[in-house]
Amino acid sequence: MRDTSQPRIDTIINALLAPAGAPGVYARTELFERAIEGLMQMITRNREPAAEVFTFPPVMSRGLLETAGYLKSFPHLLGCVSCLRGDEGSIRKAVEKEDWVEGLGATDLVLTPAACYPIYPLVAARGAVANDGQTFDVSSYCFRRETTHEAGRLQSFRMRENVCVGTPQAALSFRDRWIARAETIAKQLGLRYQIAPASDPFFGRVGKMMALSQVEQALKFEMLIPVRSEEEPTACMSFNYHQNHFSEIWNLRTKDGNLAHTTCVAFGLERLALALFATHGLDVPRWPSAARQILAM
Ligand code: ATP
Ligand code: ZN
Ligand code: MG
Condensed to tens digits (0 to 9), the pLDDT of residues 178-211 reads 999 999 999 999 999 999 999 999 999 999 999 9
- 127 CB-contact burial (10 Å; exposed 0-12 / middle 13-18 / buried 19+): exposed
Inter-residue contact 32 to 272 (CB < 8 Å): no
- Kindly tell me if the per-residue pLDDT of 117 is higher than 80: yes
Supply the pLDDT for residue 143.
98
Q: Would 1 be classed as within a structural domain?
A: no
One domain, residues 104 and 130:
no
Supply the pLDDT for residue 5.
76
> Mean pLDDT throughout 27-47?
98
Domain boundary among 88, 111, 134: 111
Nearest CA to ligand 1 atom 8: 235
Q: Would 261 be classed as within a structural domain?
A: yes
One domain, residues 162 and 260:
yes
Closest approach atom of ligand 1 to CA 236: 20
- What spacing in Å lies between the alpha carbon of 105 and ligand 2's midpoint? 29
pLDDT tens digits along 249-269:
999 999 999 999 999 999 999
Supply the pLDDT for residue 236.
98
Q: Would 131 be classed as within a structural domain?
A: yes
- Kindly tell me if the per-residue pLDDT of 248 is higher than 70: yes
Q: Would 122 be classed as within a structural domain?
A: yes
Percent of the chain predicted with pLDDT > 70: 99
Nearest CA to ligand 1 atom 6: 200
- What spacing in Å lies between the alpha carbon of 9 and ligand 2's midpoint? 27
Nearest CA to ligand 1 atom 23: 268
One domain, residues 60 and 104:
no
* H/E element, 238: strand 234-243
One domain, residues 91 and 184:
no
Range of the domain at 101: 79-111
One domain, residues 98 and 159:
no
- What spacing in Å lies between the alpha carbon of 102 and ligand 2's midpoint? 34
Ligand 1 residue neighbourhood (C-beta within 6 Å): 114, 144, 146, 152-154, 157, 159, 198, 200-201, 222, 235-238, 266, 268, 270-271
Confidence tier at 1 by pLDDT (50, 70, 90)? low
Query: Quick one: which of 247, 291, 255 has its CA closest to 272?
Result: 291
Nearest CA to ligand 1 atom 25: 153
pLDDT tens digits along 2-23:
567 778 999 999 999 999 999 9
Count up the domains in the chain and report the number: 2
- What spacing in Å lies between the alpha carbon of 288 and ligand 3's midpoint? 29
Q: In CATH, what number is assigned to the domain containing residue 69?
A: 3.30.930.10
Domain boundary among 111, 130, 165: 111
List for the chain the helix, strand, coil content (%; round to 5): 40, 25, 35
One domain, residues 100 and 219:
no
Domain boundary among 62, 88, 111: 111
| Length of the chain, in residues | 297
One domain, residues 72 and 50:
yes
Q: What gap in Å lies between CA 266 and CA 289, rounded to an integer?
A: 26
